[in-house]
Amino acid sequence: MGLLERLRKEWFILGIVLVIAVARLEPGVGAKGGPLKPEITITYIAVSAIFFNSGLSLKTEELTSALMHVKLHLFVQIFTLVFFPTAIWVFLQLLSITPINEWLLKGLQTVGCMPPPVSSAVILTKAVGGNEAAAIFNSAFGSFLGIVITPLLLLLFLGSSSSVPFTSIFSQLFMTVVVPLIIGQIVRRYIKDWLERKKPPFGAISSCVLLMIIYTTFCDTFANPNIDLDKFSLIIIVFIIFSVQMSFMFLTFLFSTRNNSTFTPADTVAIVFCSTHKSLTLGIPMLKIVFAGYEHLSLISVPLLIYHPAQILLGSLLVPTIKSWMVSRQKALKLTRQPKAPVKV
């Protein structure tokens, strides 16, 4: 259970950082020109560092075995990048008549537009014993798709800041996400043996950089004297996030286990996690680029910051149950496929 412990530790550290950002906020820390210079260190250096690190750590050779499982890949990507954001949009039309903070509702829509994460879905799939290769492929492929599709979805459902032209969004994403990923993959080819031998703490490095991004984001939020975040809206949003996750996990489970489905139990595990998890690593930097200049950017980011630990917590709690189902299902299928012994007369 070491992998799950790592996820729980990440969730715990994230909570501590958020508490510090709220309770011990120093003026100017997250603002432009402050001590951390986030307009440079966060917007360019930190984001590029995360994706260079991802490119360096991604084992592309592990994806080849899963490449031909086209039906599974289509299911995951269509559910994640088409059904998920559309369903959230329909749901938000109903919630728009409630007194819930409108910027938190917009934040829920941004969650729906995000691609699958590179780490948590893979780790949970591995912990259960599911199709890890398929989880790795869909997480990596979904992240690449998200670089193009997620900004389009955000612009479609929410619009963009008038101060950031469309071409600028994609050029900045290309330079801070795509280029570092490619460079990381190229560098990996030359130092692959050293990486396999030394096993650098890629996860810890990305987490530290990501926590710095989250910290400055929350500093910007609570440094704003005009912030209007009521407790009722926040509690309702937390409840909605957990409800959405549970509902969509159940929905993907039903679709992938129906009678005419060709998915194996191991495939179903990968589908359930990859289809319902959303990337914080790609999400926060992308929101800062697409919504640069938005006064309520930090409030829009809150649902994604809640969704990330929620998916880890729910996933780790469900691992024993899903593993038990998968093992029993595999045994049942094995028994049905065994040839029957001839009856002696």
| Residue 32 region by backbone torsions, left for phi larger than 0, else alpha for psi between -120 and 50, else beta | beta
CA dist., res. 238 & res. 255, Å (int): 26
User: What is the pLDDT at residue 21?
Assistant: 44
State the DSSP H helix or E strand holding residue 286, giving kind and residue range, or none if neither: helix 280-290
User: What is the pLDDT at residue 333?
Assistant: 76
Answer whether 76's CB lies under 8 Å from 142's CB: yes
CA 173 distance to own-chain centroid: 17
**Tokens at 338, concatenated:** 């065994």
CA atoms within 13 A on the CB side of 223: 19
User: What is the pLDDT at residue 217?
Assistant: 60
Over the chain (345 residues), what is each successive 10-residue block's mean pLDDT? 52 51 44 53 65 70 67 91 94 88 90 82 82 80 82 79 55 73 82 80 66 64 60 88 94 88 88 89 77 75 85 85 89 71 54
> Among 100, 118, 119, which residue's Cα sits nearest to residue 108?
100
The angle, 0 to 180 degrees and rounded to 10, between the axes of the packed helices 102-113 and 297-337 is 40
Close Cβ partners of 95 (under 8 Å, ≥ 6 residues apart): 105, 240
User: What is the pLDDT at residue 9?
Assistant: 54
Residue ranges and CATH numbers for the domains of the chain are: 3-328 (1.20.1530.20)
